[in-house]
């Protein structure tokens, strides 16, 4: 079975004072039965990793460059993230694909760099509202998976996050039947490409307006092994109930 993961993406939010939320979260979950990951802005990764060292929380990055080093002003390599204490990195988020024009081939190269640096790559896929309404969801997801994932993905180095673009930050949430359909499809694709053992164990996260009041219903859906949470991960008081729902303690 896939290991459960509650991942928080702080996006472009948070200065040093926000790190107090990590202490509050660790205090609320001193011995969690699921993995808890926070991906803060790059400026906070080293400090955050030092704060949680030896504790229940993991720290990740929000993106990385495909190259180890070079003349890439403003970019951060996977090696740099690992050196700062990150264990994971989010790749191919819709905001990167849309705002920065990243293609699935770009995501593939970044995932290979992440794996080479010992990071777990959280590869995001998802459809737009127009694609959903045109009944193209599974074709879009299938294409993104095929192109974004490099050979050599395993349950130890890769996580897939399904984030319907139309649900991110909008308050709109797909029905459980819609989530179930996509997650079952992704699981089947993982097994077909990477084999039964690895494909069945690669964690599949759902992301898109996950909140304390809908988390339990989402996590009850087949093949949902956790969540990639945006705004609700910024405060321990909001993220903790989601984690408890994943643990099955609420």
Active-site residue (options: 21, 95, 102, 163): 163
Q: In whole angstroms, how far apart are CA 153 and each of 63, 112, 211?
A: 18, 9, 30
Check if 163 is active-site.
yes
pLDDT range class, residue 169, cuts 50, 70, 90: confident
Euclidean distance between CA atoms 187 and 157, whole angstroms: 16
195 close to 163: Cβ distance less than 8 angstroms: no
Check if 127 is active-site.
no
pTM of the shown model: 0.97
pLDDT range class, residue 209, cuts 50, 70, 90: confident
Least confidently predicted of 23-37, 57-71, 156-170: 156-170
Please give the CATH superfamily to which domain 5-247 belongs.
Answer: Aldolase class I (3.20.20.70)
Active-site residue (options: 29, 65, 93, 115): 93
Residue extents of the structural domains in the chain:
5-247
């Amino acid at each position: 079975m896939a290991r459960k993961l509650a991942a928080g993406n702080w996006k472009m939010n948070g200065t040093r004072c926000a790190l107090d939320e990590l202490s509050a979260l660790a205090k609320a979950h001193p011995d969690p039965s699921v993995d808890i990951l926070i991906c803060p802005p790059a400026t906070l990764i080293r400090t955050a990793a030092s704060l949680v060292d030896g504790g229940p929380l993991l720290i990740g990055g929000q993106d990385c460059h495909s190259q180890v080093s070079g003349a890439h002003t403003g970019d951060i390599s996977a090696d740099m993230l690992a050196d700062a204490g990150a264990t994971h990195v989010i790749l191919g988020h819709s905001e990167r694909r849309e705002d920065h024009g990243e293609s699935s081939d770009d995501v593939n190269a970044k995932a290979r760099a992440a794996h080479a640096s010992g990071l777990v790559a959280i590869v995001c896929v998802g459809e737009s509202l127009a694609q959903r309404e045109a009944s193209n969801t599974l074709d879009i997801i299938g294409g993104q998976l095929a192109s974004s994932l490099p050979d050599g993905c395993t349950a130890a180095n890769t996580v897939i996050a399904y984030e319907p673009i139309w649900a991110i930050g909008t308050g709109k949430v797909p029905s459980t039947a819609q989530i179930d359909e996509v997650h079952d499809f992704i699981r089947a694709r993982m097994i077909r490409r990477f084999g039964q053992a690895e494909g069945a164990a690669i964690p599949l996260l759902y992301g898109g307006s996950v909140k304390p009041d809908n988390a339990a219903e989402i996590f009850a859906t087949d093949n949902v092994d956790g969540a990639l949470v945006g705004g609700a991960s910024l405060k321990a008081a909001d993220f903790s109930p989601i984690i408890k729902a994943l643990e099955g303690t609420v």
